[in-house]
Amino acid sequence: MAERQPSSRSCFVCGRENGGGLRTRWESDRAAGEVRTTVSVAEHFNGYPGVVHGGILAALLDEAMVRTGLLQGGFEDLMVTAKMEVAYRRATPTGAPLTVVGRMLHRSGSRARAEAEVRLADGTVAARAEAVLAKPPPEVARGWAAERAFWRVDEG
């Protein structure tokens, strides 16, 4: 059974109040060991007409992998991306439903490895990534502390 994940206010990918962002809503499926969202990327995020910009796809993949920390933990278990490798496999259309799925591959102490995919409506993998995740540096973690009070599941 999937359960909704919380979101922040201002994040480009998931921020509830970021009018210029993607406003994704994520779910945890602990039984499958996955996080996922379905999103349709607007044309103004294109790289070429009708094709999602690769940087937008990378942002979606990054968000999915970081959110795998919420599968077995909470806010304190979120990590940051230390290294990410992306493979773009197919042109990804704007305005079409995309499913983004992330999985934790391994976690040990302050480091983890995760993978994610962007899938087209027919299940074709359009982009794939692997990342090394790490606990955030103290100055980043301190910045998150102020946002903690606003970290919640969107009622909408």
What per-residue confidence (pLDDT) applies to 144? 80
Band (pLDDT 50/70/90 cuts) for residue 155 is low
E-strand ranges in 6-73 read 27-29, 34-40, 46-48, 51-52
**How do the domains of the chain map onto residue ranges?**
3-144
- Range 20-49 average pLDDT: 96
Q: From its phi and psi, is residue 103 left (phi > 0), alpha (psi between -120 and 50) or beta?
A: beta
The yes-or-no verdict on residue 145 having pLDDT over 90 is no
What is the model's pLDDT at position 156?
58
CB 99 within 8 A of CB 119: yes
* The CATH number of domain 3-144 is 3.10.129.10: yes
Over residues 109-128, the mean pLDDT reads 97
Quick: pLDDT tens for 51-84.
999 999 999 999 999 999 999 878 788 899 999 9
* pLDDT, position 116: 98
**Average pLDDT of the chain, as a whole number:** 93
**CA–CA gap between residue 40 and residue 28 (Å, rounded):** 19
- Phi and psi dihedrals of 79, rounded to 5? -120, 175
User: How many angstroms separate the CA atoms of 7 and 129, rounded?
Assistant: 22
